[in-house]
Structures are given as C-alpha cells and as structure tokens.
Structure 1
Amino acid sequence: MEHVWDRIETWLRANAPECLASLRPGATDEQIAEAEAYLEVSFPEDVRASYRIHDGQESDGPGLLDAEEFLSLGRIRSEWAVWKGLPDGGDFDGIRSDLDEGVRDDWWNPRWIPLTYNGSGDHRCLDLDPAPGREAGQVIEMWHDEPSRPRVAGSFRSWLEGFTNDLEAGRYILSEEYGGLVERDEEE
C-alpha cells in the first residue's frame, strides 16, 4: 500500500495540492483495532495498511475519490452508526436491493463498511459479507435511495490501485463545481 499511496501523493502534489493537504496522518494499530471492535469486524490487511498511511481525509477538504470524502476511521464509525440505527428501528423491513453478482440483496448490511461519503447519504463500502462465492473485502457502491448495489472492485487494494492508475492516466481533474477530484468527462 505504501507504493500505491506514494503514487497518489505524487499525483496530488502536482495536480491537486488541496487534496494532498486534506489527507490525515496514519492511524495507529490501536486506533484501527478500536474501529474494528466498534464495527464488530476485522479489516483485510490491505485496509489496515492503507489506514496506517492515511487515516482518511479531513471532512472539510475537497473530495478525493470522485468528489467524495475518503472517510477517516472516526467518520466511518459515525456514518456506519447512522445506517445501523435504521434497520435496528425496522426502517428496511421487507426492502431488498437489486441483486448484483457477488453482492447480497440487502438494502443495507452492518458488514458494509463505508469508505467514502458524498454528502447525500451515499457511500462506497467495504463489503465484509459478500454473497456466496465471493471473498470478503470487495468494494461496492451503496446509494441511499437507489436499489442497485454494484460491485466496484474485488478488493480494497484493487479499488485504490484502479483509482491511482486513472489519476496517472489523466482521467481526473480537480473541480471546484463538484468539490473535489472528478473524472474529466463529468467536468467537461
């Protein structure tokens, strides 16, 4: 993960220093373990390694991933708690999402750990409870008012590497209109 983050930081330094400045210092192993205990999960090692380098970003900075905030461990906990309270109160009883290959048809699952936040209740999530035949740790999209839960990447590492490759290929720009890094075709 160090090599991936070195590449991201190099690109940000040259193209989006505001995003680079918003990245938080790495979390300690103790902070990671506390988050895992709160969420009642164990993160895959690639997630732990990434959070040791950067504990997400400051919430008032420009969105790093498709203009979405890359959540710190504290922000993960707070976003997860909001979602956890909804099914605990019966809000999703009888509601299912559209089935996507490898993703359960839950509307929300407590083992879907928010990684990003767009300010409107939508997330990219670490899926630690995939459908049978998939390994825990894939990344999915979860929109609060849409039933689709598409699989974005097979692992956290592949998701972050794909983003890094897209940065280096010139597919992203910093957009004031959208409040962070967006794909070029969204801005043009």
Structure 2
Amino acid sequence: MIQNLAQRFQAVLAKIQKQQPLSRLELNDGATEAQLVQVQADLNVVFPDDLQQWYRLFDGQSPNSEHVFNGAAWLSLSRMQALWQHMQTRVTEMSHEDIALSADDEVQALWWHDAWLPFSDDGQGNYVCVDLAPSADGVMGQIIRVRFDNMVRSLEATSLEAWLDAHIEALEESDYVYSAKHGGIMDAEILFEEEDEGAADLPSMSPEAWQDMEGDLQNTLTHLLGEGAPDLKQLVNGLLDEDSPFKNQAESAAHSKHASFKDLFDSDVKQP
C-alpha cells in the first residue's frame, strides 16, 4: 500500500510541475537502513511500519523544495530529529501548568510528549506528528496535529497510511493545489476565499474601458507572437488545457515580461 501511495504521490507532483513549470516540488531519495536505525535509537522509539516504509522511499522533501504537504513542509529524518530535540529542550525549560489545552479524546492533552514524532512543519510552530503515546481512546501510530497558535491537539487520521491516502487524493481531486504565493501546496478553499476577499476591494471598470483594454492586450499578443496569435479566450484556454493547440503560444506569452501583457493576469480592476 505504501508503495502505491508513493507512486501516486510522485505522479501527482509531476503533473503539477508540468502544469506549473516554475514550481519546485522535489523529494529526497529514501533514507538508508542505517539512518533509520540511528534516528530511532536517538529518539528512543520504534517507528511504525508505515513510517519506516515511507522514509525508505523518500527522506522528506529536498532543501530547495516548496511545501509538498498542505501548507507545510515534509521533514527529512534529520530535520525531524532536530525539531524533536528542540521541543524536548523547550518542554524541560518551561512551565506549562497554566496553559489551557484542548485535545480530541484520542489525544493526550499535553503541551508536548517525547513520543510525538513531527514529520510536517508549517513554519508557524504547528506540526503534524506520528503519535506513539495516544490516550486510552486512541491507537498507536495515529496522526495528530499539534498546534501552538491555539493550543489544540487534534486527531487527523488513524495511521500515516490513511493520512497520506487522504492527502494524495485531495491533490488528485484538486482540493489541494499549487500556489506560488503560498510557497507550495495549499487547500484550494483557502485560496478561493482569499480571491473573493480581494475581488471585493477592486474598483470596477466601465464596459468601454474594458473593451479598450482588451484591444490593447490583443495588439500586444500579436506583437509578441506574430500574425495568427490566439485571441484572449484561446490564450487563457491554452494555459488551462493541456491539449489546447494554443498551449505553446500561451505559455510563451505567459512567461513574457512585457508589461502590457502582464496586466492580463495582474490587473487591478474587475471585468464589468
């Protein structure tokens, strides 16, 4: 099952990178047996089988990669260990008795536990962990989200395998999408909400002014691509449709630094 998940994950990342040539969604080669043995010894834990199998295939995302998980990086074993050690230091240095915590029934309501293995980090101090110390209602190896912005500890899935399957399916169904603005994979609903909020603040343009702008843009396309250039509708379809006969021309125009053409995608006005 893990092997199948890995193949699906690679395939969907490759598809995204083909559609978004400037994206960087790169995975490390798998960890060696020696690395796996050493990390488990250092953390004094035994990884569940699915976690070991997953890291044998990929040791997290590459250092130059954008986020391959939803709004978060996939940590290599070395980064997992470094973060775990950092949290161990913090938990021994701080008093947490007065901190209000909220936890699902399956998760211990603790500030931190040394049997929580962080494999994903959103860069804001919130982690997705393999939980090797569940509550009486939980299961060994379940996946939990440990948040320090609101002090919630939530159950995400009953196993890494189940969590990965849900994540990859969301990518395949475009519920998660690539966003250069957010530095990698993001929940599409969040992006749509941001677009709706931004559109509400944009000034309107009169139909006449919009027609003038369309004419200017079409002239720019002809200047960039020569006679036989696609019209604006064909251009946009070329960017969205892999099989469009205008795909190459659309991508050529999209990567142009011509200021007038850039307005087509970065316009500060709403179409009437």
Same fold per TM (> 0.5)? yes
Name the % identity: 28
Other structure's SS at 1:16 match: helix
What is the distance in 2 between the residues matched to 1:83 and 1:100?
21
Are residue 155 (structure 1) and residue 159 (structure 2) matched? yes
The counterpart of 2:28, out of the listed 10, 24, 31, is 24
Give the distance between the partners of 1:108 and 1:19, measured in 2 at CA: 32
Partner of 1:165: 169
| CA deviation map 1:67-98 (0-9, x unaligned) | 21100000001111111101111342453521
TM-score (normalised: structure 2): 0.66
Of 168, 185, 207, which aligns to 1:181? 185
User: Is 1:128–1:137's contact at 8 Å kept on the other side of the alignment?
Assistant: yes
**Structure 1 gaps, min length 5:** none
Query: So what's the TM-score if we normalise by structure 1?
Result: 0.94
Superimposed CA distance per residue, residues 36-67 of structure 1 (whole angstroms, 9 cap, x where no aligned partner): 11111111000000000000012331101112
* Distance (Å, rounded) in 2 between the aligned partners of 1:48 and 1:19: 25
**Aligned-pair distance for 1:122?**
1.1
1:56 and 2:56 correspond: no
Matches within 5 A, 1:100-115: 100-115=104-119
**Match in the other structure for 2:49:** 45
Aligned equivalent of 2:249: none
CA drift of 1:16 comes to 3.0
Alignment check: 8 A CA contact 2:105 2:138 kept: no
Superposed displacement of residue 183, structure 1: 1.5
Match of 1:35 in 2: 39
Query: Which of the two has greater helix per residue?
Result: 2
Letter in 1 for 2:156: V
Aligned length: 187
Question: Could you tell which deviates more after superposition, 84-93 or 67-76?
Answer: 84-93
Indicate the structure (1 or 2) with the bigger Cα radius of gyration.
2
CA RMSD in angstroms comes to 1.4
- What amino acid is aligned across from residue 37 of structure 1 in structure 2? A
CA deviation vs aligned residue, 1:161-183 (integer Å, no higher than 9, x gap): 11111111121211011111011
Q: Does 1:125 align with 2:129?
A: yes
